[in-house]
Structure 1
Amino acid sequence: MNLSMLCVNNNRAYIFTNHAPQDIVSHYKNIQRKDHLIAVDNGIRKIDELGLEPFVLIGDLDSIDPEMLEKYADIPFHQHPTEKNETDTELALDWCLKQKCYREIIICNDMQGRFDHALAIAINLLKIKSPRGERISYPVPYRIESENQSIFILPDSIEFNNCQGKLLSLIPLSEKVVFSWSQNLKYPLNDLVIRDYQSRGISNIITASSAGIIKTEGICLAVLEG
């Protein structure tokens, strides 16, 4: 594979897992020709159903339908042993990060399968480091998308636009998460500390078309629904 061809257009990467949903929050219809579709095992079937072309196939190939494997025998694939340390989705994410060229990485998963697998995919987001202190507008560049949820690591500063009425849940992944400021949330986060054993960040609501959060300490998983 020619890496220079891979990186020239600053593409988006869509990782289609075995549990790729019927659609995603940002919608499959918005996938562009220059974007790269990474198939994780039988995630290739969803790509095929959409009439799109997979860019690469990654996984142990233990769940892929033989007809899919035959149909796309000419695309590059990275086969891994069934017994390994990483899940297939983690291997696909690692591959995308190694390319160092994707402006967005979107993991397409309905989060409805095994709880341990779903949780592991969310934890895998910790591999991606957001720029510290830089204000980021939603949607963040690296995230999981189901049909009605976006899941991402909350940056230090984030602005939400056109998200009025959406549920926002914040889950600590470190011993504590400290917020200094928020705007247009039903439950303000100003000077709030959420400990890793607390669930008080669940089911907040964005109350206006524009909202914002500043986090000063800790690692936090965000789930935006609706």
Structure 2
Amino acid sequence: MSGTIAIVTGASRGLGAALARKLAGSARQLITVSRNSDAQTQRLAQASGCTHVHYAHDLSDMQHIEAAALGIFAQLDQTASQYLLINNAGSLGPVAQYDTLKDADAISRTFNLNVTSAMLLTTALLRATKTLAADVRVVNISSGAGRSPTAGWGVYCASKAALDMYTRVASLEAPHARLVSLAPGVIDTHMQETIRSGNIDDFPDLARFTTLNETGALRSPEAVAEAIVRYINSEHFASKALDDIRQYSQ
């Protein structure tokens, strides 16, 4: 047995792309899942001798979630020394307060992406590796929003809180693996652009996020990805079921 098989969802841009590119230089095999592929990840994988397989799926769609889980784990190489799943795919979802929050389809798709895809892919990995003599690690990318309520973010906060609790439950159920729900802090990604383009009536905290951008307080996806990979390979990994990368990357 040798090498790592790494799986990263939401890998076409932002933090997911940065994580995939980082792992392309060290993993034996890199599996990415997102609607679009990332040419830079493919080039880095080829240059380092890493086998890269991309699954083009929209993980806000239940049929795509099931297809991704079936496609990846029906043919998973069972000879690796380490299996790493990073459930990074996520969306802010509809931003609205109780009196205007009524788009059931948007709410459902957000929970599919933020929670259900992570649950089903984690389940598939844990089942596939249960009898293997391998190091199995799962990182669910969470958010401080799942641990502190924010007006207007009812859907996002609830989905990340659900992801946190699922991680804690799965940790109890699967002793052969180590799992963590990891908050990455504020990152300069497309999600931040979406936040700043919002309406203050829906999201009263808008000014704070505008200031974070204007003052250069947003960290780059590359810096956060580097900190996360370093954390994954450290003695601190999954020492707490709910953690925050900012505790290790100052």
- The structure with the greater share of residues assigned to helix is 2
Please indicate the TM-score interval, normalised by the length of the shorter structure. 0.3 to 0.5
Higher strand share: 1
**TM-score, with normalisation over the residues of structure 1?**
0.40
